Structure 1
């Protein structure tokens, strides 16, 4: 009898553990970019190594990117970005922790317009953001995208007066992510 109870308990424990693990989907290659339009020169950079976790049960989303992985058209821009503006030696990462506001049925194919609200930690300054995003579910595979403005001043990112015409005070941030773990394989 004890053995039977132990086996039943073990099955329940393993089942609960599997269910918990299935709620989190991971991406290790989220594409994050930003664009700064300024009178003298447009600046664009992209990283293809962002990390993200989507918890489909809790409706939460997390992003982290190493700021040193952003690639620019010109090497000097990248150097100035890392040394003068982002101070990546002191603040190497940007993180976002947020919550999806609308209900999403992750088991059904479709395109879902959602609102994500959360905190962006950038340059060691945390600010709350609320932005529109799109989630696409096809055959159990989930991808998402968003585009939102970030005011540099809100994150204590200083632009020298001499360069004010070179760099916009607000940059457009774009995020595109595809989650590696398919819900179709998990459900």
Structure 2
């Protein structure tokens, strides 16, 4: 399934003669700090495709890939909040505004603007991050906030003090050159 998603992502931004980079194991961390309890989860199976010539960037992570320290948190996350059977993934499809020279080592601040979809709700977002090149290895990182209400993720009043209204998201993706 992950292979099919990668092919579809590559197909959506592929153009002949361009520099395509893929990532099959992007790491995503989500964190909620609330008065009664902090909640954290990690996923390590995000897929992404980056076209360094055009700046096109596509990203997808299966919601069920997020794992929590407590199994009950994971059940509530999938069934009550994210409804992962109905909305199985979070995606971003957009364009990196800057065009760093990937032939030179360095860390470059970047911004990507595009459609960010979570829980079936799409919003146009501009997300800041960094693109790092080290010995030919390309890594993108970002940290941003997502408001639950913006994506119609309802938090029942009874657990309002357990879950924050905004969730911090950290993403780290290491890319390799795509070979046809």
Task: State the TM-score, normalizing by the size of structure 1.
Answer: 0.84
* Correspondences of 1:100-115 after superposition (within 5 Å): 100-115=96-111
CA drift of 1:110 comes to: 1.1
* Correspondences of 1:30-179 after superposition (within 5 Å): 30-179=26-175
Question: Which protein is richer in helix relative to its size?
Answer: 1
CA drift of 1:20 comes to: 2.8
When the two structures are aligned, how many residues end up with a matched partner? Answer: 165
CA drift of 1:22 comes to: 5.3
CA drift of 1:21 comes to: 6.1
Where in structure 1 are there 5+ consecutive unaligned residues?
1-18
- The alignment partner of 2:83 has SS state of coil
CA drift of 1:103 comes to: 2.5
The CA deviation string for residues 54-85 of structure 1, in whole angstroms up to 9 with x for no partner, is: 11111111110100010001000000000000
- The alignment partner of 1:88 has SS state of coil
- The alignment partner of 1:146 has SS state of strand
The structure number with the bigger radius of gyration is 1
CA drift of 1:180 comes to: 2.7
Task: State the TM-score, normalizing by the size of structure 2.
Answer: 0.88
> In the aligned structure 1, how far is the partner of 2:66 from the partner of 2:18?
31
CA drift of 1:109 comes to: 1.4
> In the aligned structure 1, how far is the partner of 2:21 from the partner of 2:99?
17
> In the aligned structure 1, how far is the partner of 2:25 from the partner of 2:99?
25
> In the aligned structure 2, how far is the partner of 1:65 from the partner of 1:133?
18
> In the aligned structure 1, how far is the partner of 2:28 from the partner of 2:105?
25
- The alignment partner of 2:154 has SS state of coil
**Counterpart in 2 of 1:26?**
22
> In the aligned structure 2, how far is the partner of 1:88 from the partner of 1:21?
37
